[in-house]
Every structure is written in structure tokens, then in C-alpha cells.
């Protein structure tokens, strides 16, 4: 796996095997047990990568493999099994939290193809013509006169002359906006009628809200009285 630094698939497989190997070392497995455990990891990973097994089928493969390499306390001296019942339980817990918990992610990495992304950068280069520039001008003796006059000595742009108006045409424009009274056209009676309508609607809403609150309080008091009478 020489491309694990840039290839996601190789990095995932390498992390899977390294984490499993160090877990077996920390679990104080013997060299024979580590070899059997790494073979088990390889079987499960290849079932996913090449055979594209579902998680249910791969769990069945795990159960069959663990049945061959584990032993119970009653059969401890009967066969060449490598793992005890407690060790087999620890192995199953490790695989459940590492491979099978992230099974969908492994399927996405190894089975589904990813889109290739092409990154492109566009750069704009501006040529400094040394007009009002803070950069130092190049040495004239380093260039021929033709090159200097063609690319560098562009001269200063001519400023357009301002048109001068005669004195009689120089005057300020003053626009007067007429001011109008917003109450123009309304009588005192009209204003009183509007205020009366607004006040009446507000008072009506307040009265309705107060009646609702009084009715709610009355219902609460009646409910309390019934509870007291029943008790």
C-alpha cells in the first residue's frame, strides 16, 4: 500500500489492519492468536471488498469462522482451537464496534465509484505601465529606444479641458417644494368621528378579552368548589 497518503481506499484498509493488530497486541494475544485474528480480519474485509457481501452475510461468515477457532471450557483439552469463550466475545465486540458499525461507510468507499474532480486556477496578470506608480522605473540604458518608447514611455494621458460657462449662465437652480397641510379638507367633526371609531373598537376588544378572563376564572372557582364539596 504505497499510495495510502493520497488514496482513500488504501488508507482505509491500512487503518483497518493496523488498528486490529494493535488491539490484538494490547489484548496480550499469543503470536498464533494474532495470526488467526489477522486472517479473520482479512476474510471479513475481502468479503466486503471483492465479494461485496451484505452485512448479514458477512456476520454469518464471522459466526462460522469464530466457531472453528474458539473453544468452550468443557472442550478446552479436546481440540486445537485458539481462543477461549471470553476471548471470542472480546473479538466479536471489537469487530462490531470497528467494521460492522461503519459497514455502510466501507461499502461506500470500496463499492461506489466517486466522481473525479478537476481543479483549475485562473490568474490575471496586470502589466504595470509605470503611470503614477510607486514602483521604481527601469533603467533606460537596459532597453533599446524602440522598446522603451513602444512599451514603457506611454506618456501621460491628456486631461480634458473643463468647459467654462459665461458669467450670465452661472446661476443656481432652486426647486421649491410646496408644503401642504395633511389635515386640509377635514373639519373638526370629521376628526372627532375618526377618534370615536378608533376608541370604540379598542374598548370593544378590551371588553371582550376581560369577559373571557372573568369567565375562565369563574369556571376555575366552580371546579374548586366541586372538589371541596366532594371531599
Average pLDDT of the chain is 76
Which residues lie below 8 Å from residue 11, measured CB to CB, with a gap of 6+? 4, 5
Contact predicate 45/66, CB 8 Å: no
> Over 70: is that where the pLDDT of 60 sits?
yes
pLDDT at 184 (0 to 100): 67
For residue 74, the model assigns a pLDDT of 41
Q: So what's the pLDDT on residue 154?
A: 59
Share of the chain above pLDDT 90, in %: 13
Beta partners for 83? 70
Spatial separation of the C-alpha atoms in residues 84 and 88, rounded to whole Å = 6
In tens, the pLDDT along 186-227 reads 677 777 777 777 777 777 777 788 888 888 888 888 888 887
Domain boundaries, the chain: 8-110, 192-231
| 167-189 pLDDT tens trace | 555 555 555 555 666 666 667 77
DSSP assigned state of 53: -
| DSSP structural state of residue 96 | I
Grouping H, G, I as helix, E, B as strand and the rest as coil, residue 83 is strand
- What does each C-alpha distance from 208 to 174, 194, 197 come to in angstroms? 56, 22, 17
Amino acid at each position: 500500500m504505497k499510495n495510502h497518503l493520497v488514496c482513500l481506499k488504501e488508507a482505509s484498509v491500512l487503518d483497518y489492519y493496523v488498528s486490529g493488530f494493535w488491539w490484538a497486541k494490547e489484548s496480550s494475544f499469543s503470536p498464533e492468536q494474532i495470526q488467526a485474528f489477522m486472517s479473520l480480519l482479512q476474510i471479513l474485509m475481502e468479503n466486503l471488498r471483492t465479494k461485496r457481501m451484505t452485512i448479514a452475510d458477512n456476520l454469518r461468515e464471522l459466526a462460522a469462522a469464530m466457531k472453528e477457532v474458539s473453544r468452550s471450557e468443557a472442550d478446552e483439552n479436546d481440540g486445537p482451537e485458539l481462543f477461549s469463550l471470553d476471548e471470542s466475545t472480546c473479538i466479536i465486540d471489537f469487530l462490531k464496534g470497528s467494521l460492522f458499525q461503519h459497514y455502510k461507510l466501507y461499502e461506500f468507499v470500496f463499492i461506489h465509484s466517486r466522481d473525479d474532480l478537476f481543479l483549475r486556477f485562473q490568474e490575471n496578470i496586470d502589466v504595470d505601465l509605470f503611470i503614477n506608480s510607486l514602483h521604481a522605473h527601469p533603467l533606460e540604458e537596459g532597453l533599446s529606444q524602440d522598446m522603451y518608447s513602444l512599451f514603457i514611455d506611454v506618456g501621460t494621458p491628456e486631461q480634458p479641458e473643463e468647459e467654462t460657462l459665461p458669467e450670465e449662465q452661472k446661476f443656481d437652480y432652486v426647486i421649491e417644494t410646496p408644503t401642504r397641510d395633511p389635515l386640509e379638507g377635514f373639519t373638526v367633526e370629521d376628526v372627532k368621528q375618526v377618534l370615536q371609531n378608533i376608541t370604540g373598537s379598542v374598548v370593544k376588544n378590551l371588553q371582550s378579552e376581560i369577559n373571557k378572563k372573568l369567565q375562565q376564572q369563574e369556571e376555575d372557582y366552580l371546579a374548586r368548589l366541586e372538589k371541596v364539596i366532594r371531599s
